[in-house]
Chains A and B, each alone.
Chain A
């Protein structure tokens, strides 16, 4: 579990690094830390795997990957992990999760985010995934994304 320092660091950087020459100096000031202390803590969180990557986070939609869909299946608990491991090898899948169902209204437990430039392409990818992983006989739903109302909390981008 994270300690209080880690929580503060993560809260400080969660919505992005400012676009200035010394971004970590500026971020550090928001929590009363100097630059080197903040950088050391960030490197440590990265090395521990709590931060899984550091870099440019793109918006798929605006880059032309307009047809993004969340594809969900209801897979028996005893086989779902094995299937999840297979799905991760498909390069058009950006995320794959096992989640608790919300019964009775929501029976699905396996989630994938699939990206495509057009709706047909994304649908075809969802179909391919379904066929190649042997999931055709499980209930599924394809939820295309429409509008994005919010992506990150208080935006931290001074430019």
Chain B
């Protein structure tokens, strides 16, 4: 299922992970740098998004500055994983809900306006699923996410 990318796609993915212009017409700026039209940029980004290669064009926030958040994990019996994952995903405060290979097999990030709201959400999750939610809030970030190099090491 891995896509074969054109050199244009590679440049779109590689050269604009940082410093996306915060200007009224950002895609025009990208187009000028790539030597193509703005509509071509928009069309390729749309295709790359539809194919799932791009999550979004947007911002990456520094954790913990916005509301309260935590990483959380649950030990879900394999036969219930799809159902429990769907319940967890249905909370708008949930992001990055993943299955991982471990007894703790469901992992997600929970962000809430404040600590009280977070308690409420976790209590609801535990009530609906009957499974304990373990929390692993961040204490410190060591690695600054500056984007991801597609080529070379």
Contact = CB atoms under 8 A, between A and B. Distances in A.
Interface in A115-148: 115, 141, 143-148
Among A57, A85, A91, A94, find the residue whose CB has the most chain B CB atoms closer than 10 A: A57
Interface string A6-46: 01001001111101111111000000000110010011011
CB-based closest 5 A-B pairs:
A16-B56, A84-B142, A159-B46, A96-B143, A55-B20
Nearest to A155: B56
B33 interface: no
Nearest to B55: A57
B79 interface: no
Interface residues of B, number: 78
Contacts of B51: 62
B98 A145 contact: yes
B97 A150 contact: yes
A133 B100 CA distance: 25
Given A10-B61, A10-B66, A57-B55, A149 B100 contact: no
Contacts of B134: 102, 105-106
- Most central of B13, B52, B137 by chain A CB within 10 Å: B52
Contacts of B56: 15-17, 57, 152, 155-157
Interface in A29-77: 35-36, 39, 42-43, 45-46, 49-60, 62-64, 66, 70
B100 A2 contact: no
Contacts of A51: 59-62
Contacts of A112: 143
A42 B20 contact: no
B89 to A, nearest CB: 4
Contact of A106 (B38, B57, B65, B136): B136
Contacts of B88: 149-150
